[in-house]
Structure 1
Amino acid sequence: MTRVVVALDSFKGSVTAADAAAALAAGWRAAVAGVEIALRPMADGGEGTVAAFAAAVAGAERVPVTVRGPAGRMVDASWLRLPDGTGVVELASTSGIELLGDERRPWDADTLGFGQAAVAALDAGVPRLVLGIGSSASTDGGAGFLTALGARLLDESGASVAPGARGLAEVASVDMSDLRPLPAGGVVVLSDVTNPLLGADGAAAVFGPQKGLDADGVARAESGLARLAALVDVDPATPGAGAAGGTGFALRLWGAELRPGAAEVADLIGLRDAVHDADVVVTGEGAYDGQSAAGKVPSFVARLAAEAGIPVALVAGRIAPDADTAAFAASVSLTDLAGSAEASLADPARWLHAAGAALAARF
């Protein structure tokens, strides 16, 4: 009997990791008999992190919370309480770019909602926090998160600066006297990138355009982030400090530990053992491009499979022309299957089902 492990990330803004894995598995089973499929929905700190933990850990409990989202409106979200009491909070569902739809607010979006959700978990008495920080809508250096936890970013007159990247241009001091302490068990941050805060590989230069910054805006945001960094005792070159518009930097300032998100989630769900028992592994995400090799789920799963000597296939909504797919024994683009990106996005479950059937024939 062929043993298949399906370890997909979410197809951002389209289908969750769990639903994507289920649709692909259904297509595989419909195409061939005698297959054993283990579903291991994945995440790397971005969208779907809470869902991946919820699917993997028996007894995990979602706790609803209402926070101020990146558009300035209240949004309903949740954090997750694991059986050992650990709280899991993700930025994507509280301060994430998907919450803006087609809108972009490069100067005024912030991470306050993410901080409010973390505070709700702390108020509930969690002994430890796990924070996923991908998919940010802002380049605020984590200022909103720090504000929610009690810090104050002040201008030269002693007044609080404006929210978002806009306020960083005026910050003259950071008052952390009322900052909430870390929980007793500490805070682990899951991130899919290792970028520093500043420079050509930093938060503004690399990720700012995704959030709506033009070339002049990138330079202005960079200046604001540098201004913030000069006021506190954290090295802006720390790997991961530039994650989520600089939220990684703020979390280091709080005292949190940054870790590769995909590896942490994989450990939780027992992915390594599942891969070693497999004949084929399937991984993927919404868009596989030149950045996917830097800590994203598909590259991580491909390395696990290579270590075990197991062939691995890639399924993505779109595979960019610059993407290196040499690590994969097969690759399937939903856009190619559907005939267009619009058709693929309109019914991702249908095309994931078709991708499963195609891979069944291949393997």
Structure 2
Amino acid sequence: MHGVRVLIAPDSFGSSLTADEAAQAIAGAWRATAPHDEVTVCPLSDGGPGFVATLHSSLGGELLPVTVTSPVGEPVPAVMLLVGTTAYLESAQAVGLPLVPALQRDPTRTSSRGVGELLAAALDAGARRVVVGLGGSATNDAGAGTLVSLARALGVGGLGDVLDAGGGALGAVTADDLVGLRELRDRLRGIELLVATDVDVPLLGLHGASAGFAPQKGATPEQAQELERALGHLAHAATTALGDAVRPDLLAGARATSATSRLTALPGAGAAGGLGFVLALLGGRLVPGAVVVADAVGLDALIADHDVVVTGEGRFDWQSLHGKVAAEVASRALAHAVPTVVLAGEVLVGRRELSAAGITAAYAVGETPEQVSAALAAPAQTLAARAARVARTWSR
């Protein structure tokens, strides 16, 4: 009897399961339920937590330990992946939400300085190409803290301490606080900076860094509005400070406001509390993190060699359709006429949206508040149980 060839390619399930743990839980349950099926495991990442580990398993390379500063000023361990002269960094290791105790979660005060320290460490290690994964942050400072710590490490002055005081302080930024920004950008001119974003949202607006994500990091509705204004002020001040360096069309008389709009509207500028914006400001090129990882692991060839692909994440909602792993997997699978099945802790997307994204079916581990609580208490076991039921549906 010939079984179904199944590719298991999930992202991490929040802080409950790494991508590899989730993949192994699904695969183990599937093999036990449908032993004739051929099951292949391929953990993925969207640039958020697990980005470096996923790439290391596919690319090899050298893992170098680094100590950086957490969003609340504590030293925390991180690691960079060095493959030749390319360094892969994971912003979540420096500014991830789990690094901030629940009672201290306040995105008006947390700083992204640790990401600047990661970047400086990559340059110290001799990297000429730096790929930074963005996602899962506790910060909402548009990367202002990153600017300060990177400038200090490179010996660049002229950046005010207000940039390192959290997103809520950015409404007070003046031109004097950004005098060194042009020199910092110039110092990075010889480095290829690739920014792998976990979502394709802009810096500002309804689905931007503050309105769309700050509440998950502990912000009240009033604080989210305050952060929106503060980040808008910083964006205008920063593009004004850089002047011609970021103006899109000098011959047409473009002004700094045009550059502000262009950079704040970039897909991914709002990723990781706006870190995408500042890294673009420094010359970085923003790309979907799910694309970077999928290309690195050879996902297209794997999909083409299977009959069905199973992906997943902790919470499948509107964000999942904006640059996340499931959407990228479904897009690639559709090109090969391979059905995509989503397994998630919760599924909050309707059938019409699933169909539009190329997803054949989506199954929730928890469909009631009680089931969701049980899934959080025993994530691997409940995911495996759900995977077993899905295997009975999809196996021959």
TM-score, structure 2 normalization: 0.85
Query: What displacement does 1:162 show?
Result: 4.8
- Rate the CA distance shift 1:160–1:48 in 2: closer, same or farther, 3 A: same
Deviations 1:109-166 (A, max 9, x none): 11111111111111111121110111121110100111121066756xxx65552113
Q: Distance in 1 between matches of 2:220 and 2:368?
A: 34
Query: What displacement does 1:318 show?
Result: 1.1
Q: Report the equivalent of 1:210.
A: 216
Q: Distance in 2 between matches of 1:212 and 1:102?
A: 8
- Rate the CA distance shift 1:105–1:160 in 2: closer, same or farther, 3 A: closer
Residue type matched to 1:61 in 2?
A: E
Q: Report the equivalent of 2:134.
A: 133
Q: For this pair of structures, how many residues does the alignment match?
A: 358
Q: Report the equivalent of 2:167.
A: 165
Q: 1:102-113 maps to which residues of 2 (within 5 A)?
A: 102-103=102-103, 104-113=105-114
Deviations 1:238-279 (A, max 9, x none): 222222211111001110100011111101001011101101
- Rate the CA distance shift 1:239–1:52 in 2: closer, same or farther, 3 A: same
Q: Distance in 1 between matches of 2:131 and 2:31?
A: 35
Q: Report the equivalent of 1:259.
A: 287
Do the aligned residues in 1 keep the contact of 2:159 with 2:181 (CA within 8 Å)? no
Q: 1:287 aligns with which of 288, 311, 315?
A: 315
Q: Report the equivalent of 1:325.
A: 354
Query: What displacement does 1:361 show?
Result: 0.9
RMSD: 2.1
State the secondary structure of the residue aligned to 1:8: coil
Q: 1:33-112 maps to which residues of 2 (within 5 A)?
A: 33-57=35-59, 59-82=60-83, 84-103=84-103, 104-112=105-113
Deviations 1:189-209 (A, max 9, x none): 011222222233322121222
- Rate the CA distance shift 1:105–1:329 in 2: closer, same or farther, 3 A: same
Q: Report the equivalent of 1:361.
A: 392
Q: 1:212-361 maps to which residues of 2 (within 5 A)?
A: 212-233=218-239, 234-235=259-260, 236-320=264-348, 324-326=353-355, 327-336=358-367, 340-361=371-392
1:176 lines up with 2:176 in the alignment: no
**More displaced stretch, 159-168 vs 225-234:** 159-168
Q: Distance in 2 between matches of 1:246 and 1:133?
A: 10
Residue type matched to 1:176 in 2?
A: L
Q: 2:15 aligns with which of 10, 13, 16?
A: 13
Do the aligned residues in 2 keep the contact of 1:128 with 1:184 (CA within 8 Å)? no
Do the aligned residues in 2 keep the contact of 1:8 with 1:282 (CA within 8 Å)? yes
State the secondary structure of the residue aligned to 2:275: helix
Q: Report the equivalent of 1:117.
A: 118
Q: Identify, as 1 or 2, the structure richer in helix.
A: 2
Identity of counterpart residues, as a percentage? 40
Q: Report the equivalent of 2:248.
A: none
- Rate the CA distance shift 1:162–1:17 in 2: closer, same or farther, 3 A: closer
**Unaligned residue ranges in structure 2 (runs of 5+):** 240-258
Q: Distance in 1 between matches of 2:182 and 2:205?
A: 30
Do the aligned residues in 2 keep the contact of 1:130 with 1:188 (CA within 8 Å)? yes
Residue type matched to 1:226 in 2?
A: G
Q: Distance in 1 between matches of 2:41 and 2:68?
A: 32
Residue type matched to 1:90 in 2?
A: E
Do the aligned residues in 1 keep the contact of 2:199 with 2:319 (CA within 8 Å)? no
- Rate the CA distance shift 1:334–1:240 in 2: closer, same or farther, 3 A: same
Query: What displacement does 1:321 show?
Result: 5.9
Residue type matched to 1:29 in 2?
A: R
